[in-house]
Structure 1
Amino acid sequence: MIDHAHDLESVRGATERLLTAAAAMNNASVTESSRLPGWSRGHVLAHLSRNADALVNVLHGRPMYPSADARDADIERDAPRPLDVQEADLRDSAARFQEAGAEPADWSRTVELRNGVTDSASRVPFRRWAEVELHHVDLGIGYELEDLPEQFTQREIDFLAERFRGHPGLPALLIEEDDGRRSPTGHHEEAALVVSGRRADLLGWLAGRRDGTLLRVHGGTLPSLPPL
């Protein structure tokens, strides 16, 4: 069962870790490339701020973004800002998200995200948690997949395996963690391929942050994952 209140607190903790790490940067390092192709660290920070506001829209029943073009334009607009402005925006937008999450609500209701994707409102805090944790890694400032909270890593592997389950562009797979735990994903329920490895490496591959060369594949070759 999803505990949205627990996840909101986890978002708060992840945001504080991110803000502490960002405070060690400077204006020059904000303009440097992140680990995401075509994005500076300023792009990543701007995206995180605008994503918080977008998820407030979702919780309030509004469109997540006015349009895909508006989303991209806002990130481009905000990316060049100096570090202190980025930090303030990230802190303030995070506070707005926490305030929206604290409002009395029916957390079992269905909400709409980008591109027509729907989900339970109760999973919105976890989605925000994933944004903060993974994009903290994307900044390339010393926070790695191995540093993620174990509970988050486990849940994000489960979330991504569920997201790819039934996808026609992915063969049947079993994701096998280093403790033997398995999660089915891909197009069919009976999997011919088993992909195993450390949790950080499995998450990195599923989330598009690692190429999977450190994983073991039984029954074939490592397939290419569909875009997230």
Structure 2
Amino acid sequence: MIDHAHDLASVREATDRLLSAAAALDDAAVAAPSRLPGWTRGHVLAHLARNADALVNVLQGRPMYVSGEARDADIERGAPRPLDAQLADLRETAARFQAEGDAPADWSRTVELRNGVTDQAARVPFRRLVEVELHHVDLGVGYELEDLPKEFTEREIDFLTDRFAGHQDVPATTVTADDGRTWTTGGGAAGGPVEVRGTAADLLGWLAGRRDGSALSVSGGPLPALPPL
């Protein structure tokens, strides 16, 4: 069962960790490249702020973004700002998201995200948690996939393996963590079954497009190439 209140508390804790880490940067570090191709750390911080506002829109029944072009333009416009402006924006937008999450609502209702994707409102806080945790790693400031809370890592692997289940470009694949936990995904492409084994952090990195999978062990075929998120 989805516990949106628990996830909102996790979002608050993850946001505090990210803000503390970002506050130790300076303007030059904010302008430096992040781990995401073509994005500076300023791009990552600007995206996180705009994503918080976008998810407020979702919870209030409005379009997530006016358009894809407007979303990209807002990120580009916000990326060059100095650190103090980035931090203030992120704090304010995070507070708006938390306030919306704390308001009485029907969390069983269906909401619409980008590109016609729909979901239960109760899952929106976890979607925000994914943004905050993975983009904290993307900043390249010492917070690694291994530092993510275990509960988050397992839930995100759950989410991503489910997302790729039946995908036409992914062969039937079993994903096995070192602790023995197993997931299945793919199945829409020829080949396989493939078994992919590794640490939970390395599995998440591969599934989320943050690592190339070279640390994983693979049997039954080559490491499946996953579609972009």
Task: Judge same fold: TM > 0.5, yes or no.
Answer: yes
Cα offsets for 1:7-42 (capped at 9, x unmatched): 000000000000000010001100000000000000
| % identity of equivalent residues | 72
Matched to 1:181, the amino acid is R
Alignment of 1:1-228 (within 5 A): 1-187=1-187, 192-228=193-229
Please state how far the C-alpha of 1:74 moved relative to its aligned partner: 0.2
Quote the offset at 1:154 in angstroms: 0.6
In structure 2, C-alpha distance between the alignment counterparts of 1:151 and 1:131, rounded to whole Å: 15
1:129-186 superposed Cα distances (whole Å, 9 cap, x missing partner): 0000000000001100000011100100001001111111111111111111111110
For residues 93-117 of structure 1, the C-alpha deviation after alignment (integer angstroms, 9 at most, x for no partner) is 0000001101111111111111111
CA distance, structure 2, for counterparts of residue 45 and residue 57 of structure 1:
19
Note if contact 2:192-2:220 (Cα within 8 Å) is conserved in structure 1. no
> Retained in 1: the 8 A contact 2:175–2:195?
yes
> Partner of 1:196: helix, strand, or coil?
strand
Does the Cα contact within 8 Å between 2:192 and 2:221 map onto a contact in 1?
no
- Given that 1:30 and 1:82 are in contact with CA atoms closer than 8 Å, whether structure 2 keeps it comes out as yes
Which stretch of the first structure deviates more once superposed, 109-118 or 132-141?
A: 109-118
Mapped partners of 1:103, 1:115: distance in 2: 26
Counterpart residue type for residue 80 of structure 1: P
SS in 2 for 1:192: strand
C-alpha contact (below 8 Å) 1:174/1:191 kept by paired residues: no
Unaligned 5+ residue runs, structure 2?
none
Q: What RMSD, in angstroms, separates the aligned Cα atoms of the two structures?
A: 1.1
Q: What per-residue deviation string (whole Å, max 9, x for no partner) do you get for residues 53-107 of structure 1?
A: 0000000010000000000000000000000000000000000000110111111
Could you tell me which runs of 5 or more consecutive residues in structure 1 were left unpaired when the two chains were aligned: none
Aligned-partner Cα distance in 1 for 2:65–2:135:
19
Contact 1:175/1:182 (CA < 8 Å) preserved in 2? yes
After TM superposition, the runs of 4+ consecutive aligned structure 1 residues lying more than 6 A away are none
| In structure 2, C-alpha distance between the alignment counterparts of 1:84 and 1:141, rounded to whole Å | 17
For 1:81 and 1:90, the matched residues in 2 are separated by 12
Task: Kindly state the Cα deviation for residue 191 of structure 1 after the two structures are TM-superposed.
Answer: 6.3
- Do 1:65 and 1:114's aligned partners in 2 also have CA atoms closer than 8 Å? yes
- The alignment covers a number of residue pairs equal to 227
Q: 1:52 and 1:23 mapped to 2: Cα distance?
A: 19
In the aligned structure 2, how far is the partner of 1:41 from the partner of 1:181? 34
Q: What's the TM-score, normalizing by structure 1? A: 0.98
Amino acid at match of 1:10: S
